Structure 1
Amino acid sequence: MKILVTGATGLIGKALLPHLNHDEITVISRDPARAYQLLGHHINALNSLESLPNLDQFDAVINLAGESIIGKRWSEQQKHIIEDSRWNITQQLVDKIKTSDTPPQTFISGSAVGIYGNQHDKTIDESFTIEPNNTDFSQQVCSRWEQIALEAQSDQTRVCLLRTGIVIAKQGGALAKMLLPYQFGVGGPIGDGQQYFPWIQLQDMVRGILFLLNNSDTQGPYNMTAPNPITNRAFSAALASTLHRPHLLFTPAWVLKCALGESSQLLLDGQRALPNKLQAAGFNFSFPCIEQALKQTLCD
């Protein structure tokens, strides 16, 4: 299979590509030399999509590109960076798919559970009716991101959307940022800890993408989240237990709001998102429970 991948040097991309060794892979990277160094020389690395007049040569496109949404305050400049890093390349891919005579059969494009907004303890799956919230930046980003990607849908191309939760991985992502205080025994719940924490272990994330890639009947949005979402308090306790550290402290909401500003909503809001559609299609999770996922990630 000939596959075009964006965001290949990110957390998920680096974990995914070794599973595509038997395929012919082209990646889009601003730094092809770094891409070759990280991913190997069996790939073809391009510094932009401009060298491709269309995508006739590809069987599938996997779009994982996007500036990290967590870790920096959401200044107006940072918001534009986050938006442009998702919307622009997705629009470019869609435009090239639409101008192809024999377009890729599959377009898998990123999104996030942030599209649902803050749903407190309400259980939600892909059938949930999303109500737009003009004050919720992450929802606006994901909503527009998905709208652009769905423009590629046709009789020749199916579109799958990855509504991803918090990816549990030691080598990057949100967990890597959380580890240090827990390792020193000062980790704990955020705010009241009752917000739901939709998560997925990195291996299951990769397996889920491969499942969608190889199952031609799948299309539309999929919650890439484990089937057992838990509250932030329960996650915090499980993490402390896995590391054999105390679980006594907590971070007040006001501290986060002062430190992170508007972006603190990513940690204070929650989505009790279930992967019902993915499971109905036949996908089985290797790590359905957080204790098992953390042990595999941190102890093996």
Structure 2
Amino acid sequence: MQPSRIAVAGASGLIGGALVRSLLADGHEVVRLVRRAPRDADEVRWDPEGKRVDTGGLAGCDAVVNLAGVGVGDRRWTEEYKTRIRSSRVHGTSALAEAVASLDKPPRVFVNGSAMGFYGETGDRVVDESAPAGQGFLPELCVEWEGAAAPAQEAGVRTVFTRTGLVVAREGGAWGRLFPLFKAGLGGRLGDGRQYWSFIALHDEVAAIRHLIDTDGLSGPFNLTAPNPVTNQEITAAMGRVLHRPTLFTVPSPVLRAVLGEMSGDVLGSQRVVPKRLLESGFTFAFPEIEGAVRAAHAEP
């Protein structure tokens, strides 16, 4: 792909930061959307919850990528925090979609974050993008989150939804919490360990987003998960092998529910999600297996 101008919301997050570094390394111009007054020429002001965007800063962008939103797993899900989770995603997506639609020359693609939480609890059942939404807070959030991109779709902008799994990275997300525990020899399975965790290496997450930006004709939902989801017990074993630590500890389900509240359903629930559409589009995973993904994360500088 020729060097292009790409706007990224959520550029300070785990995925957004890695995406920006990858784009800059390949000579692309990146515009970062920020909530404060811009300090650099590559920053554009926006207020996601107030649904305001400096559209002048988006002019000339070939792609707009929205990865913004407060962390789902950052704290216990009080009603107040669930409202923040929702508003940061739904209002932010609506603001950007409307801004994109209003441009005289819209970008050729709008990539909007989503999550595999769309499917809810799936147990051992394998699900791809054809599966319907599940029930509960996260599925309802994802439906509304994706629906907020309607203005861009209606304006004829190719719109993609990245239903991301659990990102394997040392410095953030779920694995950012797991690595210190396992390094200290305190790691172990969560609950009965039989629940499926659909993961994706950070490297593959960024590569998949770039693939979706670059490949004309791709639109709609794409599961950004490795093709071989594994159980929590298998993840625990892989972490122990890579870090050379024992994995004797177990956190019982009742303890997780007491500590995490409603969010415990996301930890104890089983989601066996596969990236059917991504594979059909020609994308190749660098780390399709859990041990390779963990080793890559462990080697991160």
* Residue identity in the other structure for 2:33: I
CA distance in 2, matches of 1:54, 1:100: 11
Partner of 1:79: 82
Conservation of the 8 A alpha-carbon contact between 1:188 and 1:236: yes
1:91 and 2:88 are equivalent in the alignment: no
Partner of 2:173: 173
Q: If the length of structure 1 is used for normalisation, what is the TM-score?
A: 0.92
Residue pairs, 1:54-203, within 5 angstroms = 55-131=58-134, 133=135, 136-154=136-154, 156-203=156-203
SS at 2:160 equivalent: strand
CA distance in 2, matches of 1:46, 1:98: 17
1:90-125 CA distance string (max 9 Å, x none): 000111122223211100000000000000110001
> Which of residues 23, 26, 31 is equivalent to 1:26?
31
1:17-50 CA distance string (max 9 Å, x none): 12222222211112467xx7xxxx6x61123153
**Greater shift in the superposed pair: 226-235 or 175-184:** 175-184
Conservation of the 8 A alpha-carbon contact between 1:106 and 1:158: yes
Conservation of the 8 A alpha-carbon contact between 1:54 and 1:96: no
CA distance in 2, matches of 1:238, 1:230: 10
CA distance in 2, matches of 1:114, 1:50: 28
Distance 1:157 1:50, change over 3 A: closer
Conservation of the 8 A alpha-carbon contact between 1:54 and 1:99: no
SS at 2:190 equivalent: coil
4+ residue segments displaced more than 6 Å: none
1:151-197 CA distance string (max 9 Å, x none): 42147310110000000111211111112221222211111111110
CA distance in 2, matches of 1:155, 1:271: 34
CA drift at 1:56? 4.4
1:225 and 2:225 are equivalent in the alignment: yes
CA distance in 1, matches of 2:147, 2:93: 10
Partner of 1:209: 209
Q: If the length of structure 2 is used for normalisation, what is the TM-score?
A: 0.91
Partner of 1:50: 53
Identity of aligned residues (%): 38
Conservation of the 8 A alpha-carbon contact between 1:104 and 1:156: no
CA distance in 1, matches of 2:37, 2:111: 22
CA distance in 1, matches of 2:8, 2:162: 14
Distance 1:150 1:235, change over 3 A: farther
Conservation of the 8 A alpha-carbon contact between 1:53 and 1:96: no
Partner of 1:276: 276
* Residue identity in the other structure for 2:60: Q
Distance 1:184 1:159, change over 3 A: same
CA distance in 1, matches of 2:209, 2:44: 22
Calculate the aligned-residue CA RMSD, in Å. 1.7
CA distance in 2, matches of 1:257, 1:52: 44
Partner of 2:49: none
SS at 1:58 equivalent: coil
Q: Structure 2: any 5+ residue segments left out of the alignment?
A: 47-51
SS at 1:250 equivalent: strand
